Amino acid sequence: MKVQLQHNGRKISYNIAGSGKTIVLLHGFLESQKIWEPFAAQLCKSFKVITIDLPGHGDTEVFGETHSMEFMAAMVKSILDTQNIEKAILVGHSMGGYVSFAFAKQFPERVHGLVIFHSHAAADTEEAKMNRSRTIQVVEDNRIGFIKNFIPDLFAPENTESLKDQIELLKAQAEQTPKAGIIAALKGMKERSDNTALLDEIKSPVLFIIGKKDKRISISQVMEQAIAPAHCEVLLLDGVGHMGYLEAPRLTLTTIADFCRKI
Ligand code: MLT
């Protein structure tokens, strides 16, 4: 069921289906809740599944010049409040993972588990911040050109031919993201806090999903973070870049479902 509600005077959009333990699926930068449709269709047979368009993406409006990870996390909480859901397992792809950490920091008692899907807990390095500023300029000048180059680069090179239709679809969906939404997300990611200390304290189980060919995330950095939580599991994927939900859909879906079932 598609739901739209007002948050701070603007429209937010999410989907809810199924019953049981709650799983919240959070998309990454330039994506929308649409990416989770195949996962949600399976998971909702055993769980309550919520997929959310994060601010400035999909059908959720732009709220300001910067969409901080904390702001996005507060939006997730307000959806859980509206649905009277006490605790949820958050599954965050990339930027969605940053939002999941911001949520776990602000509302630890609401977290049942975390699935950090091609993401990590650290802040941007100084170099990454400079790259973000350059990216903002590129998006200002040529949003469509940026999307055209950005999306294929998220995949392991050996997958780009077999997944060319999905890549075209992702590009078309990313093109629906308004310039203001793209820039607000880039600014939010650039300013995000370092949440690595949280990993030492976190009581909820954590699953990291890592693509060995991910160019956007440092694998050694994530592996180091995965040692910290009291209960942590790792799925390390060969021949996968940043898009495991398309590059290894069966394995990532069953691993998430098994993790959610047992915690
Ligand atoms: C994403 O896929 O959400 C972003 O690439 C993450 C990032 O740029 O740090």
Nearest atom within ligand 1 for CA of residue 132: 8
Token pair recorded at residue 37 = 């449709």
Hey, which residues does 111 pair with through a beta bridge? 88
SS3 108: helix
pLDDT at 8: 83
How close is the Cα of 216 to the center of ligand 1, in Å?
7
Q: What is the pLDDT of residue 39?
A: 98
Residue 180 CB contacts under 8 Å (≥ 6 apart), including other chains: 56, 62, 65
Residue 157 CA to residue 138 CA, distance in Å, equals 24
CA distance 94 to 26: 9
Q: Is 134 left (phi over 0), alpha (psi -120 to 50) or beta?
A: alpha
Is 159's C-beta closer than 6 angstroms to any atom of ligand 1? no
Phi-psi group of 118: left, alpha or beta (phi > 0 → left; psi -120 to 50 → alpha; rest → beta): left
Question: For atom 5 of ligand 1, which residue has the closest CA?
Answer: 29
Distance between CA atoms of residues 10 and 27, nearest Å:
20
**pLDDT (0 to 100) of residue 45:** 98
28 in contact with ligand 1, CB cutoff 6 A: yes
pLDDT in tens, the chain (263 residues): 999 988 888 999 999 999 999 999 999 999 999 999 999 999 999 999 999 999 999 999 999 999 999 999 999 999 999 999 999 999 999 999 999 999 999 999 999 999 999 999 999 999 999 999 999 999 999 999 999 999 999 999 999 999 999 999 999 999 999 999 999 999 999 999 999 999 999 999 999 999 999 999 989 999 999 999 999 999 999 999 999 999 999 999 999 999 999 99
* Ligand 1 center–CA 123 separation, angstroms: 12
Residue with tokens 């392991």: 156
Nearest ligand 1 atom, CA 28: 3
Ligand 1, from 214, 216, 242, 247: best to mutate by most atoms within 8 Å of Cβ? 216
Distance of CA 193 to CAs 84, 110, 188, Å?
29, 20, 10
CA nearest to 52, candidates 42, 40, 63? 40
What is the pLDDT at residue 7?
A: 83
Q: Which residue carries 């050996």 as its tokens?
A: 158
The rounded Å distance from CA 28 to ligand 1 centre is 6
199 Cα–ligand 1 center, Å: 20
Residue type, position 90, single letter = L
49 close to ligand 1 (CB < 6 Angstrom)? no
Rounded to two decimals, the pTM is 0.98
216 lines ligand 1 (CB under 6 A): yes
Task: State how far the Cα of 98 lies from the Cα of 87, in Å rounded to an integer.
Answer: 18
* 32, 57, 94, best to mutate for ligand 1 pocket (most atoms within 8 Å of CB): 94
